A = this chain, B = another copy of it.
Amino acid sequence: MKKAVTLLSGGLDSATTLFYAKKKGYEVYCLTFDYGQRHRKEIKSAVSIARRAGCKYQIIKIKLPWKGSALLDKRISIPKRGASGIPVTYVAGRNTIFLSFALSFAETIGARDIFIGANAVDFSGYPDCRPGYYKVFNKLSRLATKTGVEGKAIKIHTPLINKTKKEIVLLAKKIKVPLELTWSCYRGTGKPCGACDSCRLRSKGFKQANIKDPAI
């Protein structure tokens, strides 16, 4: 069985990506980051989802000595409505940090494929979620690694990148993602807030797919 590494945050998109990779026949190793985010709820969700999927998982603890994002600094409010431009929830270099660990992990375990649930349609406008970024990261992967030098570069797959949130919900349903275990809200309160960017995008997807969100 071919090995793959999947980045798993515990949200709808990453959970769908994990089940997608499984469906494609990979033995999936999940990688979750405890990077000082506002709450631990999404990490708990990630662990539950990885266990439900029957996959091995690793939690990488990263202590960034800098903040500058509403997801890292509780003194910065999470915006209630989507604003134009890149929002304050942007974490500088986040996906580059995550993918660099995934690259290291994949090469070490002999995996040739990395899956990430990045999306550039119904998204918050983060620059490191756009297709061009992944195109260049794949170039970097070939140059950065021993594997790449040997002509067997590790590939980053972004199966959801061009899908609407509705399409993601429908795909998730089809491939039996345990949607009730996923957590998308930027806040870690008892119930999803329903107001943050992430909740609004998720809610829109479920509504348009005409499916009740089982996590609410």
Contacts and interface: CB of A to CB of B under 8 A. Distances in A.
Interface of A: 58, 60-68, 86, 90-97, 99-101, 103-105, 107-109, 127-128, 130, 132-133, 136-137, 139-140, 143-146, 148-149
Contacts of A90: 146
Contacts of A68: 107-108
Contacts of A149: 86, 127
Given A60-B65, A92-B146, A93-B101, 9 more contacts: A60-B63, A61-B63, A90-B146, A91-B104, A92-B105, A96-B104, A128-B144, A128-B145, A133-B143
A133 B58 CA distance: 28
Given A66-B109, A109-B66, A94 B86 contact: no
Nearest to A133: B143
A43 to B, nearest CB: 15
A83 to B, nearest CB: 13
Contacts of A62: 62
Q: Is the interface of A mostly helix, strand, loop or mixed?
A: helix
The complex is assembled from copies of this chain, and their number is 2
Contacts of A86: 146, 149
B65 A92 contact: no
B136 A132 contact: no
A148 B104 CA distance: 25
Nearest to A72: B108
Contacts of A145: 92-93, 127-128
A143 B134 CA distance: 9
Given A108-B66, A149-B127, A93 B103 contact: yes
A144 B133 contact: yes
A107 B61 CA distance: 21
A92 B103 CA distance: 8
Given A96-B100, A127-B148, A66 B105 contact: yes
